[in-house]
Amino acid sequence: MPTSAAFDLVVIGGGSGGVRAARLAAQRGARVVLVEGQRLGGTCVNVGCIPKKLYSYASHYAQAFEEARGYGWQVDQPMFDWGRLRRQRAVEIERLNGVYERLLQDAGVQVRRGWAQLVDAHTVRIGTHDVYAERILVATGGAPRRPPFEGAELALSSDQLFDVEPFPRRLAIVGGGYIGCEFASIFHGLGAQVTLLQRGDRLLPGFDDEMARFVASELGKKGIALRFGASVQRVSRHAAGLEIHVGDGDPLQADAVLLATGRAPRTEGLGLEAAGVQMTDQGAIEVDAHFRTSVPSVFAIGDVVDHRALTPVALLQAGALVDRLYGCGNEAPREMRYDDVPTAVFCDPPAASVGLTEAQARERHGKLRIYRSEFRPLRHTLTGSDERAFMKLVVDDATDVVLGVHLVAPEAAEVIQGFAVALKAGATKALFDNTVAVHPTVAEELVLMRERHCSGGSSVA
């Protein structure tokens, strides 16, 4: 069987984490080969963060055209071209694929096209070629999870929705997490009639309860139909499109159905079990605090380890791993910590959080101080929109440390980044109070909130 020369590191997967790890390791002198069977950039670049944000921008223009009238603009009837948006997105994604390719080449990483499989602790098979390396890094990301109900194959995953044809005038979305809420806002903004079906009694599991309820209220006000307690039994095709059968109620008719039911670690066909790599009950690769698997020469990062399935987390994991394996000069190796990880949901209006939810804080701390504010942003005083903003601070009463920041407001994702730094530094509410506000902004409310509601467990003080 043909073989290739030995490497210091074989990286399986050309997504955000894999590319970052390969590039940093090569820059520090390691001989690195990266294996990828699809386009470079992984989920984030090709069917995730980047195209989703581009479509989110597109979806806001209809609202912006309408709001412009309140500011004196005479706007002719705008027309939306779904095909043009898709083509423009494809051009940009292709450009980014090339950027990733050049980054790897400039760093000295060899890129092999194909599908990889572990043969043993130091061997990766790519087609008919075996590659030998001191270490192997698995960074294969995740894939959409398809629920087991009848007719699920008739529905689309989020990977497929970007290129759905024709544009669905009636879209049903199954699932109310990140993906469901974001695509609900996107397609509603682009002109679709959207119904979101959520099996539970609230949106955005894992986020602050109060913030999630506020998001649901705002989505409903904009015209997105929300159905809670909706367990999909089956999907069937009929003459006018698709029918979604939910419990005992009348079936819902739609032109397309999106399954926003989460993503699962992409481990199938990698030969992990045969190589002795232990897996979790959820199908993720089990790793220690330094991303080492049960096989000492095999490591894993990113969505495939299922800690926090976020691109920036995978990037930091890659940096921490390379620091430890290949050094970082005179600096101490980075350590990956999963507290105070900021995150955003690009729905309309967008939501963002960092730190503990109120429920999490009650479990881990004593008495809390909860500060909250709800208001209409200045921008909408002339537009006639009834959209409102929501902000909430969770504070440890004993130490005055701010434990969580949660907001639903225009540019929430941009705002949360700076407050994430503050929480990482251990900022107190007194420090927030003594910070001069930037006026007039939405973000200033986070340093102006004074009234509070104190709670400790089930008691109110």
Burial string for 72-91 (b: 16+ CB within 10 Å, else e) reads eeeeeeeeeeeeebbeebee
Quote the tokens at residue 407: 């907001």
Identify the CA nearest to 241 among candidates 257, 225, 229, 228: 257
- Which among 129, 290, 406, 439 is annotated as catalytic? 439
Contact 171, 255 (CB under 8 A): yes
Quote the tokens at residue 242: 């698709």
Element (H, E) at 361: helix 358-364
Q: Active-site residue 307, yes or no?
A: no
Cα 189 from Cα 186, distance rounded (Å) = 5
Contact 430, 346 (CB under 8 A): no
Give CB contacts under 8 A, 24+ apart, made by 415-423.
415/352, 415/442, 415/443, 415/446, 416/342, 416/344, 416/352, 416/353, 416/354, 417/342, 419/342, 419/354, 419/446, 420/340, 420/341, 420/342, 420/354, 423/340, 423/354, 423/355
Cα 358 from Cα 404, distance rounded (Å) = 8
Cα 297 from Cα 135, distance rounded (Å) = 5
Residues tagged active-site: 439
